Structure 1
Amino acid sequence: MTRMIIAGAQLGPIQKADSREAVVARMIDLMNMAADKGAGLIVYPELALTTFFPRWYMPDWNEVDTWFEREMPNGATMPLFERARELGMAMTFGYAELTPEGRRFNTSILTNRKAEIVGKYRKVHLPGHDEYDTERAFQHLEKRYFEPGDLGFNVWRNEGAIMGMAICNDRRWPETYRCLGLQGVELVTIGYNTPAVNSQMNAEGLEKRLFHSDLSLQSGAYQNATYVVGVAKAGLEDGHPLIGGSIIVDPDGFVLARAETEEDELIWADCDFDKCAFGKTTIFDFARHRRVEHYGRITSQTGAIVEV
């Protein structure tokens, strides 16, 4: 039997003026709380070290690069890695990655209990736009500041479970979970920074945004018989509200734990990975039930084409 207490470390807002060192101290506080609960893995949000900088249009790429990390761990994050190693706790968190070749990605890493990086994922489904948009209530320039991820959807056997990662908008795309599900995934971790208001439709506010987040995470868990942990950076960040709603979902799609605030908050659940087996060998036994001869359109076509 493989089971683990998994903690979701929701972060409240990170303001533009907040240093990485101050944020890491908050992350360590949550890690210490997770240790008190017996957690073996802690999950932090997307872009966990900084404010959500893609909300600003920055023509100066030197300014843009101040929000990126050139190595991991680095001086600011080393205390987090050291504390994780002391506690024997695996972790995953997101950050903006600048490679030695000058490429920029929205990235997440996974460590083992020795604080060794065992997995890396780069966000595939980038939302938003790449130039200043006068029609939006606020900017969402991920397509300007990041390249689409080039590592694909992978899994790692880590601490006895098969784990995969995704980031924010990836959670809305069923292809994300199915690519991981086809590798036997038992835990999908997803950090997100999601505005509480749709920049292109102000009437779509917090209630609908939270509903859609839950719907995406729960359906992905159920349809692939896997645990899913979705963790937010939340609250009023530089005058822009982000949703909370961090949840831990079981392989039947039921919510085991839910954040109640938009501040730094820890949620946790005792996850028995053997519970993934039933769904994987019955209704979602892919080997018996999938009909790949009918799925070619999924990978041969991008946009919808109306032919009737």
Structure 2
Amino acid sequence: MREIVIGGAQLGAIQKSDSREAVVARMIALLSQAATAGCDLVVFPELALTTFFPRWWMEDADEVETWFEAEMPNEATQPLFDAAKQHGIAITFGYAESTPDGHHYNTSILTDKEGNIVGKYRKVHLPGHVEFDTERAFQHLEKRYFEPGDLGFPVWKNLDAWMGMAICNDRRWPEMYREMGLQGVELITLGYNTPSVNSQDGNEGLAQRLYHSELSMTAGAYQNASWVVGVAKAGDEDGHPLMGGSIIVDPNGFVVARAETEEDELIVHACDMDMCNFGKKTIFDFARHRRIEHYSRITGQTGVVYPK
């Protein structure tokens, strides 16, 4: 048995005025709970250090830059890395990354139990729009503030398991899971900040949003025989509600742990990585069953092309 005790550290609302230091203190408190629960790995959400700032229209480049981290760890986040190392817990969390050469990404990192960064992922599937949209109930400007990730979907060996990361909207795209599945992934960690209501369809509320989120993650887990840990930032951020619904999904697609609130909350499950083996050797034995000669459209086109 290759057991990893995983904590999903859901964060409640982070207001625009909240400092990074205050947020890191909350993350450290969840880390302490995780240590008491015997966790080996703790998964924090997307953009864990700040409010979901892409909802705000900003034209001043200097203002935009205040939401980004030029290095990691930095002065504000070093206490989190120190606490993780002290507890002997690996962590993964998301943040807005500003690179030395001026690029901006929605990023997630993974550490080992000594606090060393062993993996970095940059969000590929950016939702939303670039210019102010008068037709939306609220703005979703990820395409304005971030560039699509340039690292693909890498997988790393950590805690004796093959791990990968994804962020929010990535979970809705089966290509993400399969890219990692083809590298033997056994654990996909995924942080998200998802509005409780669709900005373009007010009839799509919390129940529908939670259903689609869970459907995407359970299907991805099952179809790639991998654990999936999806962790939310939730609650009302300056009048803008984010849904919770953090879950841990086993390699058969079953939810084995689920958050009950929209506050800071830790969910825990002992995840046996060897549970992935049966699916990978039977129904999802890719080497035996995939027929790539029929899949050329998947990488050969983006939009729909109707047959002539």
Q: Report the TM-score when normalising by structure 1.
A: 1.00
- Aligned Cα root-mean-square deviation (Å): 0.5
SS of residue in 1 equivalent to 2:66: helix
Residue number in structure 2 paired with 1:46: 46
SS of residue in 1 equivalent to 2:209: helix
TM-superposed deviation, 1:46: 0.1
SS of residue in 1 equivalent to 2:5: strand
Distance between the aligned counterparts of 1:113 and 1:5, measured in 2? Answer: 13
Please give the per-residue CA displacement for 1:252-305, whole angstroms capped at 9, x wherever unaligned. 000010000000000010000001000000000000000000000000000011
Q: Which amino acid aligns with 1:235?
A: G
Residue number in structure 1 paired with 2:34: 34
Residue number in structure 2 paired with 1:62: 62
- Map 1:138-153; keep pairs closer than 5 Å: 138-153=138-153
Residue number in structure 2 paired with 1:91: 91
Q: Which runs of 4+ in 1 moved over 4 A?
A: none
Aligned length: 308
Distance between the aligned counterparts of 2:25 and 2:273, measured in 1? Answer: 31
Query: Alignment identity in percent?
Result: 72
Q: Which amino acid aligns with 2:297?
A: R
SS of residue in 2 equivalent to 1:4: strand
TM-superposed deviation, 1:4: 1.0
Please give the per-residue CA displacement for 1:111-140, whole angstroms capped at 9, x wherever unaligned. 000000000000000000001001110000
TM-superposed deviation, 1:238: 1.1
Residue number in structure 2 paired with 1:260: 260
Q: Which amino acid aligns with 1:27?
A: M
Residue number in structure 2 paired with 1:9: 9
Residue number in structure 2 paired with 1:197: 197
Q: Which amino acid aligns with 2:50?
A: T
Residue number in structure 2 paired with 1:295: 295
2:277 paired with 1:277:
yes
Q: Which amino acid aligns with 2:106?
A: N
Distance between the aligned counterparts of 2:184 and 2:257, measured in 1? Answer: 23
Q: Which amino acid aligns with 1:146?
A: F
Please give the per-residue CA displacement for 1:138-161, whole angstroms capped at 9, x wherever unaligned. 000000000000000000000101
Distance between the aligned counterparts of 2:306 and 2:260, measured in 1? Answer: 43
Residue number in structure 1 paired with 2:240: 240
SS of residue in 2 equivalent to 1:67: coil
Distance between the aligned counterparts of 1:141 and 1:238, measured in 2? Answer: 17
TM-superposed deviation, 1:307: 1.9
TM-superposed deviation, 1:236: 0.4
Q: Which amino acid aligns with 1:291?
A: R
Residue number in structure 2 paired with 1:137: 137
Stretches of structure 1 lacking an aligned partner (at least 5 in a row): none
Stretches of structure 2 lacking an aligned partner (at least 5 in a row): none
Distance between the aligned counterparts of 1:67 and 1:103, measured in 2? Answer: 13
Q: Report the TM-score when normalising by structure 2.
A: 1.00
Distance between the aligned counterparts of 1:266 and 1:88, measured in 2? Answer: 17
Distance between the aligned counterparts of 2:200 and 2:41, measured in 1? Answer: 37
TM-superposed deviation, 1:306: 1.4
Q: Which amino acid aligns with 1:71?
A: E
